[in-house]
Structure 1
Amino acid sequence: MTRHRQSKLSRYLLRPLWRVLWRVLLIWLIVTVGVTVALRYVDPPFWSWMIWRGITTPEGYPDRYSHQWVELDAIPLHMQLAVVAAEDQRFPLHTGVDFKELEQAIRDAMAGKSLRGASTLTQQTAKNLFLWPGRDWTRKGLELPLALLLEQVWGKRRTLEVYLNIVEFAPGVYGVGAASEYWFGKPVQRLSRDEAARLAAILPNPWIYSAQPPSNHVRRRADWVLRQMQQLGPAWIANIK
């Protein structure tokens, strides 16, 4: 068989595959947009991160504290500020993706350094809702359009509200409402600034770090979060839309 015929045969065989892939992509896009619009008004009953955790670690969850939804207006402003100060200080400014930080992360990766963070709160929300754990490029690539979609459909306030209610603060403990009860035995409305900073301090790895009692590392990071909160001030997020 000549090379020309081989190339023609390959294109003929791949054509149905490409059609299937495009249809799958289109269906995924339509479903994702539809779900995102619905979650603008309906609180998510479950999300991909919770499902993944349940499948991989089904035993040992503290069911009493597993999850409880708290409206954003009922979450103390210093708790909101603590998370923004710890995880994404440019949250009020970017469009869901911090392209400045993303560019630096790509440069670091091209220089041979490990693939680091640079995920915004919006990207983390998209990951927790729709994607899987890990730091591979495929997941990071999917985060970007999802984050931009969330910002356009939800806005900042809804994004922050969902993030604070689905992020994991201990194994199987989701959201600030459950986290406050689990770590400090009190409703989130009664959290002090220091307790809020400690909750924000354990977010990089809540399966290792403890908010109460805090390790030396958590204590140092919480102190740093408190300083950042002081510098930013509550107005930094009080007027976000």
Structure 2
Amino acid sequence: MMKRVFRFLGKLVLWFIVLSVGLVALYKFVPVPATPLMVIRYFESTNETKTWKHKWVSMEKISKNIQLAAICSEDQKFMEHNGFDIEAIEKAYEHNKRGNHIRGGSTISQQTAKNVFLWPQRSWLRKGLETYFTFLIETIWSKERILEVYLNSIEMGNGIYGAEAAAHYWFKKSAANLNANESAAIVAVLPNPRNYKANPASAYIQRRQQWIVKQMRYYGEFNFNTEK
């Protein structure tokens, strides 16, 4: 009996690995049409508030401003690490032990793995799977592809997903034409995109926007090196 159970579990794990690797390999080349988060958010909403705006665009049609803003705000070591920023994780852990306000230490790679393949609720199972998928995308995709998928999938407003939809929703223009201030305003809402507004921005979002713009100026024009 136990042999059958272990054999079944072994097959289950094997099929999960095969399917997950296959899906990650597929998304290396094709756009991600939807994510679990998009579906969950849609069905969580009432009929009056149901919104699902998402349009995939290639990296060439996403302003370098918002690419740089995302890295400066969310993960300044993005091009250097292998998916995990150990120092940021340790700082977040120490911070969370001291207070009630939870701070995340996730990299852009981890956020991409979570948004594209998993569900939003925190649990040890999800964190373990997030680590697994982060390892896969860092192994199979380039850094540029990870950023491209991230900027096309991240929630940037209530029911607004990806830079193109966010640019049209907040500033009535395409993602290719976003300037530094607009890009920083959009990225500034990422801690809580369902409650914060990029335009008109609250005082808190304006402060975050100004900080992000300063970081962008400090780092200068970002050179996207796809070599790992």
**TM-score of the superposed pair, with normalisation by structure 2:** 0.90
User: Displacement of 1:44 after TM fit?
Assistant: 1.3
Is the Cα–Cα contact under 8 Å of residues 79 and 193 in structure 1 kept in the other structure?
yes
Residue of structure 2 in register with 1:193 after alignment: 180
**1:170 paired to 2:145:** no
Matches within 5 A, 1:110-121: 111=97, 116-121=103-108
* 2:170 is equivalent to residue 215 of structure 1: no
Greater Rg over alpha carbons, structure: 1
1: CA distance, partners of 2:192 / 2:38: 15
Contact kept in structure 2, 1:61 and 1:171, CA below 8 Å:
no
SS of aligned partner of 2:54: coil
* Letter in structure 2 aligned against 1:35: L
* Gapped regions of structure 2 (runs ≥ 5): none
Greater percentage in helix: 1
Query: Which residue matches 1:89?
Result: 76
Deviation at 1:99, TM superposition (A): 2.4
Deviation at 1:107, TM superposition (A): 5.3
The range that moved more, 47-56 or 147-156, is 47-56
The answer on 1:48 being equivalent to 2:32 is no
Moved more, 180-189 or 128-137: 128-137
What are structure 1's unaligned runs of at least 5 residues? 1-12
CA distance in 2, matches of 1:175, 1:26: 33
Does residue 129 in structure 1 map to residue 119 in structure 2?
A: no
| Identity rate, percent | 38
Deviation per CA, 1:135-164: give whole Å up to 9, x if none.
Answer: 323212221121111011111000000000
What residue is the counterpart of 2:8 in the other structure? 20
Q: CA deviation at 1:106?
A: 4.5
- Pick the aligned partner of 1:77 from 64, 83, 106: 64
- The CA deviation at 1:108 is 5.5
User: Does structure 2 retain, via aligned residues, the 8 Å contact 1:85–1:225?
Assistant: yes
Single out whichever of 54-63 and 192-201 deviates more from structure 2: 54-63
Question: Are the aligned partners of 1:97 and 1:148 in contact in 2 as well (CA < 8 Å)?
Answer: no
Distance 2:70 2:217 in 1: 13
Structure 2 letter corresponding to 1:163: Y
CA distance in 1, matches of 2:46, 2:155: 15
Out of 25, 29, 50, which is 1:61 matched to?
Answer: 50
- Quote how far apart the aligned CAs of 1:176 are: 0.4
Tell me the CA shift for residue 177 of structure 1: 0.3
Q: Distance in 1 between matches of 2:134 and 2:89?
A: 13
Q: Matched residues in 1 for 2:3 and 2:87: separation? A: 39
Deviations 1:95-140 (A, max 9, x none): 112223234445556x576663111101111101111112323212
